[in-house]
Amino acid sequence: MSNKQSVIVVTGGASGIGEATVRRFARQPGCTVVIGDINVERAEHLAGELREGGASVHACKLDVSSEQAVKTFCLHVLDTYGVPDTLVNSGGLLQNAVHLFDLDIEEYDRLQNVNVRGTLLISRELARPMCEVGSGSIINLCSLTSFRPSAQIGYAVGKAGLHMLTQVMAAQWGPHGVRVNAVAPGYTLTPAMQARIDSGERDPKAVVDKSALRRFVDPAEVAETIHFLCSPGASAITGAILPVDCGWLVTSAYAAYASQPG
């Protein structure tokens, strides 16, 4: 990021990768970070903690599944802080594996409304003024399931959709100076992931054994990648979906291949 005053909006910024992203940008001199999260109490606690350290961080309630809530939030951001330099769409829901026959359609719809439609709604609201000023960066949160099938059906279908949405946004808004990229985190040791490990819904050994680096991704590592994609060092990058997965994608493909060295 440059040293000019920058406005960074992070949805889902109260926890997990979103929180790590807020913390990363809060360390950047000249940045004002706006957290949008449905858990506004947690967002306000994080913002207060970071303000005590001298950062400019503010929290607002945001339900990305509500078009009216998104419009209200974006108007507040624009009126109070100006046109954002960066939007990080980290707000989203997880899902456990499920058989197609047992899929709860209400859960499926909720996943699409939050993970895909929510990303579209807020990106469209904030990309318009970005395009008018001729600059900006948007980062979407894709997943390994953007590239590989998964029994997390609603989640996977949504993340595959975000892959395409990222590329469409990049193509349409690029001529106006707005870059759109995505990160595709692998198995990241967020509090939500740890809770699933603790409940027996995730097998940590299976994750580690199938990753080239033999470990989980740390949320701060995803945040660093997001920060890079928003920086001048990535000024020629748009429409990219960058895996941050400790080599899970390459290892899963390599290990499944019929020919292996002796």
Catalytic residue positions? Answer: 155
Q: Which two tokens stand for residue 199?
A: 């409940």
CA dist., res. 65 & res. 63, Å (int): 5
Query: Considering only CA atoms, which of 191, 186, 192 is closest in space to residue 241?
Result: 186
Q: Residue 56: exposed, middle, or buried by beta-carbon count in 10 A (0-12, 13-18, 19+)?
A: middle
DSSP state of 245: S
> How far does Cα 150 stand from its chain's mean position?
19
Dihedral sign of CA atoms 154, 156, 157, 159 in order: positive
Are 44 and 19 spatial neighbours (Cβ–Cβ below 8 Å)?
no
Describe the crossing of helices 219-229 and 16-26 by its angle, rounded to 10 degrees. Answer: 60
CA dist., res. 158 & res. 182, Å (int): 14
